Amino acid sequence: MSRVVHVLEFRMVRGTGGGPEKTILLGARAADPARTRVTVCYLRAADDEVFDIAERARALDVPYVEIVERRTWDTTLVPRLGALIDELGIDVVHSHDYKTDLLAWLAARRRRIAIVATAHGWTGHSKRERLVYYPGHKWLLARFPQVIAVSSEIKHELGRWGAAADRVTVLLNGIDPGRFRRDPSRVSPTRDAMGIRPDAVVLGAVGRLEPQKRFDLLIDAFETLRRTRSEPLLLLIAGEGSARSALEAQIARLGLGTDCRLLGQLSEITAFHHALDLFVQSSDYEGTPNVVLEAMAMETPVVATSVGGTADICRPGLDGEILPPGDVGILTAGISRVLGDHALRVSRTASARHRVEQDLSFERRVRALDDLYEEMATPS
């Protein structure tokens, strides 16, 4: 195709968002300018004072616009989105959540544009999400002309709702192996700066402090390991969320003191990994977790639950220890097994690093998107 395809990446999130925001912003910056021009557009709630995507887009020099949602049922959203599509000359709208998927679908009905949605998974825990929003979202996606699923599990779920297999493409999340790279010379200074004793074995986790992440399960497992293993152990959890108070109370109740620390939101995750001996994901459900990709790239041994796309990216027994979710005994035993086998850790981290350099590189994922956009925008 001779002309450049203009794509509108369209998503709604409150606050600072999560892994998809990294993927969208970095993907827009990495798109091949000879083939694809990406404008990032966020639907922002008018009362959201924490929202920071605009600043992050500017820092990356990514073209950015936003549509402000003035109230819960804002009937002007579809015409405003349509006007933006017309003004920018958009060829493809790429939406990322149930609200922007619906708005893109409605706006496209009167325009000669292509639409594609990425299904990141359904990880909310409220009753309304589970009983109303998510069933409606799956029904809509099953009728979309093109869907990107970030895991094979999500593709299977959409198939259950009637989506044709040839309209759902599995595209795993990717990572920049150049940016996420372990530097052995940074380990000691990082640990010293965090006040970590030289002989401590450090377990780490990253994620929103929300119920589905099951940090309560991880803390219980850590308490058992701390009592039963001989080496001094430390658990560091990076992230913020609604479960912070409950987790703080659990840490106090178990008498873990400063051996279990909630670090809050971290801006530099590579520094965090230089302090770790093991990364743990204990979630009950996920989409495809960028935090596991980051651990793999940073050569931090991985213990993770087999939820969402985790086992798609981190192959069980090859790249990490993959366990069933929701069982503190299984989680405790899995962590202990990996901590006790140095050769196993070395072989798996080498395999994981090779995998992110090859199959899961961010460059490869972006080029696959360029191909898809070009195919969608080419008249049949």
Asked if 81 and 100 touch (Cβ cutoff 8 Å), the reply is no
Q: What pLDDT shows up at residue 1?
A: 46
**362 exposed, middle or buried (CB, 10 Å; 0-12, 13-18, 19+)?**
buried
Count other C-beta atoms under 10 Å from residue 171's C-beta.
16
Identify the burial level of 28 via C-beta atoms within 10 angstroms of its C-beta, where 0-12 means exposed, 13-18 middle and 19 or more buried.
buried
**Confidence (pLDDT) at 14:** 87
> Residue 130: what pLDDT?
85
pLDDT of residue 226: 96
Q: Which domains does the chain show, CATH number per domain? A: 5-174+361-377 (3.40.50.2000), 184-357 (3.40.50.2000)
Would you state the pLDDT for residue 2? 63
As given in the structure block, the two tokens for residue 366 are 């972006």
Per-residue pLDDT of the chain (380 residues; tens, 9 = 90+): 468 999 999 999 988 887 789 899 999 999 999 999 999 999 999 999 889 999 999 999 999 999 999 988 899 999 999 999 999 999 999 999 999 999 999 999 989 899 999 999 887 777 888 888 999 999 999 999 999 999 999 999 999 999 999 999 999 989 999 999 999 999 999 999 999 999 999 999 999 999 999 999 999 999 999 999 999 999 999 999 999 999 999 999 999 999 999 999 998 899 999 999 999 999 998 878 899 999 999 999 999 999 988 999 999 999 999 999 999 999 999 999 999 999 999 999 999 999 999 999 999 999 999 999 999 998 76
Report the pLDDT value the prediction gives residue 110, as an integer from 0 to 100: 85
Is residue 199 a contact partner of residue 270, using CB atoms and an 8 Å limit? no
From the number of C-beta atoms within 10 Å of its C-beta (0-12, 13-18, 19+), residue 306 rates as middle
